[in-house]
Amino acid sequence: MRGSAPLHSLRERFAPLQSLARFVHDGFSGKDRPVNIKLLFCITAVNSPEKGALTESRIQDLMILVTRYFIHADLDAFYASVEQLDNADYRGKPVIVGGLPGDRRTVVSTASYEARSYGVHSAMPIARACELCPQGVFLRGNMKRYKEKSREVMGIFSEFTPDLRQISIDEAFLDITGTEGLFGPPAELARKLKSAVRERTGLTVSVGLASNKYVAKIASGMSKPDGCFVVEKGGEENFMRSLPVDRIWGAGRKAQEKFKKYGYKTCDDIYKISEQRLCSVFGKAFGIFLYRAVRGQAAASFDDIRGSRSISAEHTFDYDMYDGFAVETALMKICNTLMYRLLDLDWQSRTVFIKIRYEDFSTESAQETSEHPVGTMSDLFERVCALFHRKCKRGIGIRLIGAGLMNLETAGSSAGELFEFEDERKKKLEKCIHEINKKFPEAAIKKARLI
Ligand SMILES: [Mg+2]
């Protein structure tokens, strides 16, 4: 099953689950780009005789049959490398981007590997970097140029998978599940990706490859600079257990201090502790997170709030978030997802809930039931935002935001839901957009704020 298969034959091929798994595993080419497997499932859902039988949760079940592969790609000493690329004079010299000697209150944002050998590292005050490396090339940096290079690199990444998630200016996750037919085995793809970036942009990228994003992210850090670290499927736990605790992604300064206090030096030390004990020492949410992290399992998901029948979605920020507008935008994206799932399931709900996890991992949730079921995306968004603003503690960074609908019931089952005319129109429009997006995922109609 390679090359481009006509879409009309998909239904036959999808019939038995095994062949579906094999199909996805072997990879499949659309025109000249790999086709996202989720998208393939959606096509099947639309084409299948019992339309709608493939729901989101069904898709999740099917995905388990397939070995997932994720790459975390991280450019090496990005700002400094761009400067060395643009200025031949800087090559081979310790380049420190962040500020000039004498600039007050500035810190190093990136140090080239030459500068790192003097002990200079990011987040260090420029004054200290001057002491350690007086002969360094100090630069204030040129964000416009870095963004331009970042776009070039992300463009290359997107040639390898449509399922690309950029998490900062120089890092991204690539879901490369099911691309073997196009690029060969995952490790081969990783090599191709590295050389494409080097040849076309002159930059080096470190790559981690694993069966989940969490382990891939840690693996890329092990391969710096210019490396490729592969954690084989089944080897995630041993890999994690071999690491010191400061490699745990998501365990910040406070957690590290606690590890020290309790004498935990390696992930293996934490591995030996029961989940219950971890929860009592670190709090429930972070305890569960640690328990899973040292086992190389994907980060914890939304399982601590559960209604009888509910749907939910959440978003983890790359940095602790203080910006209310950005949180609202994330909430809008979540509401979008939830509303489409609700339409798909043909359910309705009168109860919305939110979950906020702060930088210190403390988590709170709130819910509200109103007289009328949620009618439209904007209705849901308004309710969720109102809850958020009532509940949110000001001045503390937000790490994760989630929202959901609970006590779901079959659409039309509750009496007295009278939508205003405007709401009915909006509802129809949303339903229509949803149908279009399902049939033509490439078109991806979205609210302007989410682009
Ligand atoms: Mg980097």
Ligand 1 center to 366 CA (angstroms): 37
Homologous superfamily, domain 68-233: Reverse transcriptase/Diguanylate cyclase domain (3.30.70.270)
Ligand 1 center to 227 CA (angstroms): 12
Alpha carbon dihedral 183, 185, 190, 194, in 10-degree steps, equals -50
Ligand 1 center to 172 CA (angstroms): 10
Structure tokens at 405: 């609908």
Q: What is the pLDDT at residue 4?
A: 40
Q: What are phi and psi of 28, to 5 degrees?
A: -155, 135
Ligand 1 center to 415 CA (angstroms): 55
Ligand 1 center to 76 CA (angstroms): 5
Q: Report the alpha-carbon distance of residue 340 to residue 346 in Å, rounded.
A: 10
Measure Cα distances from 144 to 141, 148, 151, 158, 431 in Å: 9, 6, 11, 21, 40
Instruction: Give me the CATH code for the 239-293 domain, please.
Output: 1.10.150.20
Spell out which residues have Cβ within 5 A of ligand 1, the ion.
74-75, 170
**What is the per-residue burial (b if ≥16 Cβ within 10 Å, else e) of 125-139?**
bbeebbebbeebbbb
Q: Which of 215, 224, 261 is nearest to 242 (CA)?
A: 215
Contact 285, 361 (CB under 8 A): yes
Structure tokens at 325: 């507008």
Q: What is the pLDDT at residue 250?
A: 75
Q: Report the alpha-carbon distance of residue 115 to residue 264 in Å, rounded.
A: 31
Measure Cα distances from 433 to 99, 369, 379 in Å: 48, 27, 16
Q: What is the pLDDT at residue 43?
A: 47
Ligand 1 center to 66 CA (angstroms): 30
Q: What is the pLDDT at residue 23?
A: 46
Q: Which of 153, 176, 152 is nearest to 33 (CA)?
A: 176
From the candidates 83, 171, 180, 430, give the one annotated as an active-site residue: 171
Contact 302, 356 (CB under 8 A): no
Q: Report the alpha-carbon distance of residue 313 to residue 384 in Å, rounded.
A: 12
Ligand 1 center to 75 CA (angstroms): 4
Ligand 1 center to 347 CA (angstroms): 44
**What is the per-residue burial (b if ≥16 Cβ within 10 Å, else e) of 60-91?**
eebeeebebbbbbbbbbbbbbbbbbeeeeebe
Q: What is the pLDDT at residue 64?
A: 55
Contact 351, 276 (CB under 8 A): no
Q: What is the pLDDT at residue 97?
A: 95
Q: Scan for tokens 């944002």, then name that residue.
A: 109
171 classed as catalytic: yes
Contact 83, 97 (CB under 8 A): yes
The sheet carrying 351-358 orders its strands as 311-321, 398-406, 351-358, 363-369
Hey, what amino acid is at 105? Answer: R
Ligand 1 center to 361 CA (angstroms): 25
Ligand 1 center to 221 CA (angstroms): 9
> What sign has the CA pseudo-torsion 357, 107, 155, 247?
negative
Q: Is the pTM of this model over 0.75?
A: no
CATH number 3.30.1490.100 is the correct assignment for the domain at 311-450: yes
Q: What is the pLDDT at residue 430?
A: 72
Measure Cα distances from 193 to 69, 173, 188, 200 in Å: 14, 13, 9, 11
Contact 180, 206 (CB under 8 A): no
Domain ranges for the chain:
7-64, 68-233, 239-293, 311-450
Q: Please count the other Cβ atoms lying within 10 Å of the Cβ belonging to residue 97.
A: 25
Ligand 1 center to 91 CA (angstroms): 18
Ligand 1 center to 328 CA (angstroms): 28
Ligand 1 center to 150 CA (angstroms): 11
Q: What is the pLDDT at residue 238?
A: 97
Q: Report the alpha-carbon distance of residue 88 to residue 65 in Å, rounded.
A: 50
Mean pLDDT in order along the chain per 10 residues (451 residues):
39 39 43 44 48 52 68 96 97 95 84 96 91 96 91 93 81 85 89 97 97 92 94 94 92 86 96 95 83 79 38 86 89 89 75 92 89 86 94 89 83 40 63 68 59 55
